[in-house]
């Protein structure tokens, strides 16, 4: 009995131990599964949270406006903001929101990047002073490049005044007369007449006249950029004014519920000509106060970016291209030039973005109490070129989207979407190339080829379905390389145009890039 009881005890103990081990194993497996499941859920929540932050920062919905931006709005003012809707329920909606960099610069980690660029500017200044002191034996502080680039400013101011007054008086008067003619007989004849006069004014008054002044007076590059960019801006503004108000008058001619067509007041059109948007509305969301300290800060930052660009060209571009321009064009020199131009090209890209799209537009928006400050989105987070094109310059993108892309689809009855996208790229590329050709004084379609060839290709390859950090790296690499190509080729052509004379005065020689055939013996120092 004793041995039998011991056997029973041993069997019971071993079975109990096995059952306990089995339960422990099951519990460990369950714990591991629960932990892994919790970690997956946690990672999923974190990813969703970060994605929502990025989407909210780039969305068109109104963001909460801190008290530092403007005083709190009353209930009556909030109700008014709901009335800022585009005509006929379509088009861009304007709401009160800050610029993205203004929000990001409140974070110390992001503001440190801004401080790094200021430190680099200080080093550029010190480098220039040290080199001048060692070479010249004195401190040379003359900004001869800036003085040359912004030459003949009185002529620039007079030309701009003429352009602005014509853009204020001619389109508004033509539109007002046309709206009154819709009340009488032969409305289609009057529409054809006033439309032809408006197109003639766009082509001659705003198109030919400023270009003629720039070319005939041989204005320097920066002065040319001021006039030509204002020319393009005013042409886009006047088109938007007519495009947004003509449907309103045509809708009245069908219904005629009011005694007369409601045309915008001249004060509304005058405000639109200055406000930093290319989409016309009778009313925009407005801030109650003007922060003049904010305006002064932004204008000083624009001035700082101007001197920053000066030192970039003086220290990084001019010494390099003076030596390269003395060599015959070949593939080796081209490759070395492109990679040596990436750093100044990237700095010029950042400076142009920060100075114009952030500082300049925000300064004018603040002076005009314009509350919608989304002039750009988080283009630096783009994983596709399609998203980059939409977020880099929202002001121009909105105009192209509503008045080129959507109008093309409307005329084609939404049957040719790829053709509409190609048309938008073509319009943008032609306008960019026109600006550079007139301002530099030569035709070298580098930017046009980059837009129409690589831009279109990357737009379809790096599309919105591309997600992840690797695609953002590819986008930045392509962008940096493109900036190096632009700076290299345009700088080489600039020196070749200055120092290498034409072999014969023919149209083909004018179109042919002179840097391709420029030799050392033909160039003068």
Give the Cβ contact number of residue 491 at 10 Å. Answer: 23
Give the Cβ contact number of residue 461 at 10 Å. Answer: 13
How many CA atoms lie less than 13 Å away from 255 in the CB half-sphere? 12
Tell me the sheet residues that pair with 370. 286
Q: Which residue has the tokens 């084609």?
A: 412
- Residue 476's alpha-carbon distances to 120, 316, 450, 468, 493, in angstroms, are 21, 21, 15, 13, 26
What distance in Å separates the CA atoms of residue 309 and residue 305, rounded to the nearest whole number?
6
| CA-CA-CA-CA torsion sign (263, 266, 268, 270) | positive
Active site residue 432: yes
Specify whether the CB–CB gap between 405 and 421 falls below 8 A. Answer: yes
- Residue 269's alpha-carbon distances to 234, 243, 394, in angstroms, are 12, 13, 21
Q: Which residue has the tokens 């006033």?
A: 194
What distance in Å separates the CA atoms of residue 487 and residue 468, rounded to the nearest whole number?
30
Check residue 260 and give left, alpha or beta (phi > 0: left; psi -120 to 50: alpha).
Answer: beta
| Runs of H (alpha helix) within 370-443 | 385-392, 394-400, 406-411, 417-440
| CA-CA-CA-CA torsion sign (353, 359, 364, 365) | positive
Q: What is the largest CA-CA distance in the chain?
A: 126
Tell me the sheet residues that pair with 286. 370
Specify whether the CB–CB gap between 350 and 483 falls below 8 A. Answer: no
DSSP 7-68: HHHHHHHHHHHHHHHHHHHHHHHHHHHHHHHHHHHHHHHHHHHHHHHHHHHHSSSPPPPPTT
The catalytic residue among 109, 176, 239, 432 is 432
Residues belonging to the active site:
432
């Amino acid at each position: 009995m004793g041995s039998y009881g011991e056997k029973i005890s041993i069997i019971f103990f071993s079975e109990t131990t096995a059952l306990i081990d089995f339960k422990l194993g099951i519990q460990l497996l369950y714990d591991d599964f629960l932990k892994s499941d919790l970690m997956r859920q946690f990672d999923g929540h974190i990813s969703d949270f970060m994605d929502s932050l990025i989407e909210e920062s780039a969305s068109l919905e109104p963001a909460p406006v801190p008290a530092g931006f403007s005083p709190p709005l009353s209930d009556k003012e909030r109700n008014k903001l709901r009335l800022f809707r585009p005509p006929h329920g379509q088009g861009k909606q304007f709401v009160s929101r800050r610029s993205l960099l203004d929000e990001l610069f409140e974070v110390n980690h992001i503001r440190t990047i801004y401080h790094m660029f200021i430190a680099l500017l200080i080093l550029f200044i010190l480098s220039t002073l040290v080199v001048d002191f060692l070479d010249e034996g004195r401190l040379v502080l003359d900004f001869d490049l800036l003085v040359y680039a912004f030459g003949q400013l009185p002529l620039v101011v007079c030309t701009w005044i003429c352009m602005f007054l014509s853009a204020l008086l001619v389109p508004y008067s033509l539109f007002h007369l046309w709206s009154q003619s819709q009340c009488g007989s032969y409305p289609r004849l009057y529409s054809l007449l006033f439309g032809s006069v408006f197109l003639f004014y766009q082509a001659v008054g705003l198109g030919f006249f400023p270009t003629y002044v720039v070319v005939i007076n041989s204005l320097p590059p920066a002065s040319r950029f001021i006039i030509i960019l204002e020319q393009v801006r005013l042409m886009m503004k006047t088109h938007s004014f007519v495009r947004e108000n003509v449907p309103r008058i045509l809708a009245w001619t069908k219904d005629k519920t009011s005694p007369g067509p409601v045309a915008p007041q001249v004060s509304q059109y005058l405000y639109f000509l200055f406000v930093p948007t290319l989409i016309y509305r009778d009313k925009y969301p407005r801030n109650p106060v003007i922060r003049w300290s904010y305006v002064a800060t932004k204008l000083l930052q624009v001035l700082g970016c101007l001197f920053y660009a000066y030192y970039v060209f003086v220290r990084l571009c001019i010494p390099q291209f003076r030596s390269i321009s003395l060599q015959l064009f070949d593939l080796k020199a081209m490759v070395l030039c492109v990679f040596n131009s990436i750093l100044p090209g990237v700095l010029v890209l950042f400076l142009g973005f920060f100075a114009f799209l952030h500082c300049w537009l925000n300064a004018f928006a603040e002076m005009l109490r314009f509350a919608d400050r989304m002039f750009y989105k988080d283009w630096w987070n783009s994983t596709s070129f399609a998203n980059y094109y939409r977020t880099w310059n929202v002001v121009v993108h909105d105009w192209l989207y509503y008045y080129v892309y959507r109008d093309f689809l409307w005329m084609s009855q939404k049957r040719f979407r790829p053709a509409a996208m190609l048309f938008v790229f073509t319009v943008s590329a032609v306008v960019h190339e026109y600006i550079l050709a007139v301002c530099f004084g030569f035709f070298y379609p580098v930017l046009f080829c980059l837009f129409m060839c690589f831009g279109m290709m990357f737009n379809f390859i790096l599309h919105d379905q591309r997600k992840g950090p690797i695609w953002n790296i590819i986008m930045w690499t392509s962008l940096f390389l493109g900036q190096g190509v632009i700076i290299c080729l345009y700088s080489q052509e600039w020196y070749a145009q200055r120092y290498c004379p034409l072999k014969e005065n023919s149209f083909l020689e004018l179109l042919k890039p002179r840097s391709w055939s420029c030799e050392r013996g033909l160039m003068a120092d």
